[in-house]
Structure 1
Amino acid sequence: MKVRFLICSLFLVCIVSTKAQENFAAYANIKIEPTEKINFSETNIGVFYQKKLGTKNKISNTLEYSSLKANYDLNQYDFYEDQERFNQIQNNFQYSNQILEKTKLGISVIPTVNFQENLNFEDITVLGNLEVEQQLSSKIMVILGAGRTTVFGAPKVTPIIAFNYNMNEKTNFRIGFPDSRISYSNNDRNKFSLTNSFNGNFYHLDETNKAEKAALSQMTSALEYERNVCNNWFLNFKAGYDFNKKYNLLDSSDHKVYDYNTGNGYVLGIGIKYKQ
């Protein structure tokens, strides 16, 4: 119990009083991802704030808890007995600085705890990234960087590259890796997005033999819709498909021990958000 309290305290260090916040949001989402052999469902809740520090600096922070459940009823495995639920507590602290008139530097530090039921200090992993945004014109921006991410399951250093084009006030394009997006708003209350993202995660296993981690990754293409239903409340919906979905067990060196061969599947999600 003391270990759980200490780790949770670590993630709360970055949070400041909400009275000082200039922008705040709280959200909850539910997502299901059935595949040929295993059905996945994920629930996450989080809070976000951002604040400007003068004219050139800005900080933001997102604290999130997520729970992933795996249903193996469609097939029987030798390894699944204690691998039905996974948990994550993650804190994403971001800092940006306008170092030149058209150049911005962004840094993020992301401590995360990924575990099954028993939470320990060994479950802590620190992720993060470094990005440089270069404004080429009033409508075009290029982003280059690198980070320690989990887009391929286990933590690895990956590149970050994006080309942003604001066609007009209603339409925006972002083409790059790991995320691409085309967004369109026909009015102040509706926002439609076509997205493509490489995404993944990993979890430390409580009972280890050869395998010490469960790692999941996929490329997701989806259509998303956000609706401002009233005042500060928003509903969002997501429907898409997971390509090249992988669910593997890894050893301490992140080498594959077992492959579940789940196959691909569709994605359905719904969420609610409060913004101010």
Structure 2
Amino acid sequence: MIVRFLICSLFSVTFLSIKAQENFAAYANIKIEPTNKINFNETDIAVSYKKNLGTKYKIANTLEYSNLKVSYELNQFDFYQEQDKFNQIQNRFEFSHEISEKTKWQFSIIPTANFQQNLDLSDITVLGNIAINQQLSSKLNLVIGAGRTSIFGAPKFTPIAGLDYKFSDKANLRVGFPDSQIKYSNNERNEFKLTNSFNGNFYHLDTSDAVNKAVLSQITTAFEYDRNVSKNWFLNFKAGYDFNKKYKLADSSNRQIYDYNIGNGYVLGIGIKYKQ
């Protein structure tokens, strides 16, 4: 009981300070990622808010829960079929400071609990990053930093870099790591994006033997369409492909124990968002 109370306290979010309605949002997404051997189905929900602290400081907080279901289609994996449901509770707190008109820095701290069924303090990992945003011209912007992320399937320190170019009020481009995208909006209700991202995750298993982590990673290239269907409601549609997709089992030191060799596959997703 004490452990559950401490974990819930760590991920709790206080919304009493929300005064501006336009700073609140909530969303839900469903995503399927089938491969030749194993199918992945993920559902996530989140609530977030943003707040200005004066003219130069901003904070943002997002609390998110996701559930991943894994379907093993071939009998050769029967001995691992109990590993078919994974959960994640994550809280992202972000702070940014405008140092000058053209320079600002920002950091985030992200406690995350990744577990199979039984939630425990040992399932908690703290991620985060820090970055500098420098405006080079009216159309060009540079972002550089570093963070502790799970984009390769395990907590590791990775670089963050991005070069943003604004073609016009309707189109802009970002080239960088771990995310790149080109975005175009033909009017205030439609937004089209072509994205490429390195992404991954890990989950602690309910086991006491040498295998205690499930590890996933991939590079995703996708086309996304966002539609503002009314004043506060938005829909998102996503279709793409996962390259270099990996699903492995590892020990507590992140050493590989077993590789499913699942191969690549496509990704389809749909989401709904409410924003004030």
Please tell me whether the aligned partners of residues 128 and 149 of structure 1 are also in contact (alpha carbons under 8 angstroms).
Answer: yes
Q: Kindly provide the amino acid, as one letter, of the partner of residue 67 in structure 2.
A: S
Match of 1:11 in 2: 11
Q: Distance in 1 between matches of 2:152 and 2:176?
A: 16
Q: Which residue of 2 aligns with 1:147?
A: 147
Q: CA deviation at 1:82?
A: 2.0
Number of matched residues? Answer: 275
* 1:273 equivalenced with 2:273 (yes/no): yes
Q: CA deviation at 1:4?
A: 2.4
Calculate percent identity across the aligned residue pairs.
67
Cα distance, 1:149 vs structure 2: 0.1
Q: Does residue 243 in structure 1 map to residue 243 in structure 2?
A: yes
Match of 1:47 in 2: 47
Q: Quick one: distance in 1 between partners of 2:136 and 2:213? A: 43
1:215-230 correspondence to structure 2 within 5 Å = 215-230=215-230
Separation in structure 2 between the aligned mates of residue 103 and residue 18 of structure 1, nearest angstrom: 27
CA-to-partner distance for each residue in 1:128-149, whole Å, 9 max, x for gaps?
A: 0000000001111000000000
Question: For residue 27 of structure 1, what is the aligned residue in structure 2?
Answer: 27
Cα shift at 1:79: 4.3
The Cα shift of 1:90 comes to 0.1
State the match for 2:61 in structure 1. Answer: 61
Task: Give 1:111 deviation, angstroms.
Answer: 0.2
What TM-score, normalized by structure 2, do the two folds share?
A: 0.97
Shift of 1:15: 2.9
Matches within 5 A, 1:22-171: 22-77=22-77, 79-171=79-171
Gapped runs of 5+ residues in structure 2? none
- Written as runs of structure 1 = structure 2, the 5 A alignment for 1:156-235 is 156-235=156-235
Change (3 A) 1:75 1:99: farther
Q: How far apart in 1 are the matches of 2:88 and 2:8?
A: 11
1:18 deviates by: 5.7
Q: CA RMSD in A?
A: 1.2
Structure 2: how far apart are the matches of 1:182 and 1:4?
Answer: 42
8 A contact 2:72–2:81 mirrored in 1? no
Kept after mapping to 1: 8 A contact 2:18/2:49: no
Residues 91 and 112 of structure 1 are in contact (CA less than 8 Å); yes or no, is this contact kept in structure 2?
yes
2-structure distance, mates of 1:245, 1:31: 16
**8 A Cα contact 1:199 1:217, kept in partner:** yes
SS at match of 1:215: strand
Query: How far apart are residue 252 of structure 1 and its match?
Result: 1.1
* Structure 1 runs of 4+ with >6 Å offset: none
Do the aligned partners of residues 215 and 181 (structure 1) sit closer, same or farther apart at CA in structure 2, a change above 3 Å counting? same
Q: TM-score, normalised by structure 1?
A: 0.97
Give the aligned residue type for 2:19: A
The one-character-per-residue Cα deviations of 1:88-123 (angstroms, maximum 9, x if unpaired) are 000000000011221111100000000000000000
Residue 15 of structure 1 contacts residue 61 of structure 1 at CA under 8 Å; is this kept in 2?
no
Q: AA paired with 2:15?
A: V
Letter in 1 for 2:150: T
| SS in structure 2 at match of 1:5 | helix
For 2:18 and 2:149, locate their aligned partners in 1 and report how far apart those are by CA, in whole Å. Answer: 32
Instruction: Give, in angstroms, the shift of residue 75 of structure 1.
Output: 4.5
